Amino acid sequence: MERKRIIQELSTPAGEELFQEAEEVCKRYIGEQVYIRGIIEFSNYCFRDCLYCGLRRSNKRIKRYRMREEEIVSLAEKIILCGIKTVVLQSGDDMGFSAETLSRIISKIKKRHPEVAITLCVGERDFEDYKAFKDAGADRYLLKQETSNPSLYARLHPGQSLKKRLEILEYLKRIGYQIGAGNIVGLPGQRIEDLADDLLLLQALEVDMAGIGPFIPQQDTPLANFAPPGLDLTLRVLALARIITKNAHLPATTALATLDPQRGQILGLRIGANVLMPDFTPEGYRERYTIYDNKRRVDLEEAKKVVRKARKKFSTDRGDSLKNRSSFQKTGREEISSQSVFERRRYACAD
């Protein structure tokens, strides 16, 4: 899809044609099934200072926690006993969890349940850490870039760069991870053109999965007084992501459920999303994982209800990548292509 058409679709209220096209693409490339991933938010420590996130290091009001190693493994067992075959381990950028500790947790889960996929969402780490996690048995890595606009990225993520983020994603792909990226819809300072470029970036990255959700303010951040976007715009971005990426896994996010608790995820599944991620984080920790305010609790039973209401098929299969990139998976950082993803993004996003 050309950038001009994407901008046009994002600039006008969506008609049924766009959503119908997205649903047809989903049926053709994915099917009717909705894959379930069980998520454990095991630490809310973060040494980053992202302006939109309640876990930012400057937030002194948040009560921090780190779950114990055996606690995490036990929760993974609980998820697996529910028949779910993907466990997502998520935290802030918490270097208090060493590569050795995280690798040990991954290894314990995989040794007991080699049939289960493990997805990591633990932020930017040393390149050696990513390799250690992969060797321990991790299958997927989610590292959302949030925006494709380098200057906006730099403003929202002090001390970080979009170029570094994209280099990490390319490295993860080359050492064999199924990779996930994604963006936030409605960020303060974001333009419609930025959203179009976000979508083209997902295409250029050839992502296996993409998390797309609305900006929701958190009261203890510098962006607390900015309003979230409308549901319609968020759904248009999600529908276009389905059309553009074709067979990437797209979750109907918890943020979408928070934006519209009654309809958000149901509509998301009807216009192209095919994943739900119920939260297995225990009470007592869960309310402290405040990346944004009023985060909706979506447990396994709620996820089942959403799937039924969306008239989809509930699936606990692994739901691995539908991409085929085995021919260019590599094993070392030094083998990253000289034409970086960052450069390809600039090319793909040109008029």
Asked whether residue 339 carries a pLDDT value surpassing 50, the answer given is no
Tell me the pLDDT tens digit for each residue of 76-127.
Answer: 999 999 999 999 999 999 999 999 999 999 999 999 999 999 999 999 999 9
Q: How many domains does the chain have?
A: 1
227: which DSSP letter? P
pLDDT of residue 316: 87
- Edge-first strand order for the sheet with 38-43 is 38-43, 86-91, 117-121, 140-142, 178-185, 209-214
Q: What does the mean pLDDT of the chain come to? A: 93
Query: The tokens of 173 are what?
Result: 């792909």
What pLDDT does 333 receive?
40
Contact residues for 74 (Cβ-Cβ < 8 A; gap 6+): none
246-294 tens-digit pLDDT? 999 999 999 999 999 999 999 999 999 999 999 999 999 999 999 999 9
pLDDT at 331 > cutoff 50: no
Domain of residue 306: give its range.
3-348
pLDDT on residue 325: 54
DSSP notation for 124-189: ---HHHHHHHHHHT--EEE---B-S-HHHHHHHSTT--HHHHHHHHHHHHHTT-EEEEEEEET-TT
pLDDT tens for residues 174-188? Answer: 999 999 999 999 999
CATH number at residue 228: 3.20.20.70
